[in-house]
Amino acid sequence: GAGVSQSPRYKVAKRGQDVALRCDPISGHVSLFWYQQALGQGPEFLTYFQNEAQLDKSGLPSDRFFAERPEGSVSTLKIQRTQQEDSAVYLCASSRDSQYEQYFGPGTRLTVT
Amino acid sequence: AQSVTQPDIHITVSEGASLELRCNYSYGATPYLFWYVQSPGQGLQLLLKYFSGDTLVQGIKGFEAEFKRSQSSFNLRKPSVHWSDAAEYFCAVGPSGGSYIPTFGRGTSLIVHP
């Protein structure tokens, strides 16, 4: 079936604006992960859902970051009052269960000006 | 805490030459190990993974990796590189026993000369 999709692919925000990034996981995948990838770095874990439950949000860098997955499928990562240091690629991944083999989406490149 | 080191930021090889990308990890027990590839503007694609068993793991696109516990390494190899292999390669380590959060290395950029 279709892979993980993310939208928008590119987002430019002025500092202080709120943004919402969407992730459509592979159908039937229980687990969903969000990562932040800074330029020249590997992905860093932000948060994890199993179905609609957010089981781990230890990687969220501040309380300006919020994620939800209300029906256990599509997920949204929201960043309030964006700052320049939020500029990065935000990757979403899903898996059949929590035991690894994650499938990644193409990412959303966020640029905060 | 677990960690991953990819000591080479860039690797340049000629098309047709062999390739080895290094990965060293730090973890107290037997880890789960992964190699991912990321082409420009794309997400990460899993090349191969090691959970247990045979320490030589075969993956997609002709890649293989060998888990060496004594050296805490999981190096990625390919006998003959193609121009289309030019990409960013990430090694990742995850704790075993049900935890799910992998730690990624900073990546190695592979440049292939014709």
Per-residue tens of pLDDT for chain A, all 113 residues: 589 999 999 999 999 999 999 999 999 999 999 999 999 899 999 999 999 999 999 999 999 999 999 999 999 999 999 999 999 999 999 998 766 678 999 999 999 99
Handedness of CA A103, A109, B2, B7 (dihedral sign): positive
Nearest C-alpha neighbor of A33 from the set B36, B102, B11: B102
Q: Quick check: helix, strand or coil at residue B83?
A: helix
CA A82, distance to chain mean position in Å, is 15
Give the pLDDT score at B29: 76
Which of B32, B100, B104 comes nearest A42 by C-beta? B104
Spatial separation of the C-alpha atoms in residues A43 and A23, rounded to whole Å: 16
Q: Is A47 on the interface with B (CB under 8 A)?
A: no
Which of A43, A101, A106 comes nearest B41 by C-beta? A106
Alpha helices in B15-58 (DSSP H): none
Spatial separation of the C-alpha atoms in residues B107 and B11, rounded to whole Å: 11
What's the maximum distance between 2 C-alpha atoms anywhere in chain A?
38
Amino acid at A84: Q
pLDDT in tens, B2-44: 889 999 999 999 999 999 999 999 887 778 899 999 998 888 9
Tally helices (H) and strands (E) across chain A: 0, 11
Confidence bin at B96 (pLDDT 50/70/90): low
What average pLDDT does the segment B62-74 reach?
Answer: 95
Q: Terminal CA-to-CA distance of chain B, rounded, Å?
A: 41
Chain-wide mean pLDDT for chain B?
91
Residue A3's closest chain B neighbor by CA? Answer: B43
Question: Is residue A81 packed enough to be buried (19+ CB in 10 Å), middle (13-18) or exposed (0-12)?
Answer: exposed
The structure tokens 């959303």 sit at A108
Q: Is A46 on the interface with B (CB under 8 A)?
A: no
Amino acid at A86: D
Contacts 24+ apart (CB under 8 A), B54-62: B59/B35, B61/B37, B61/B85
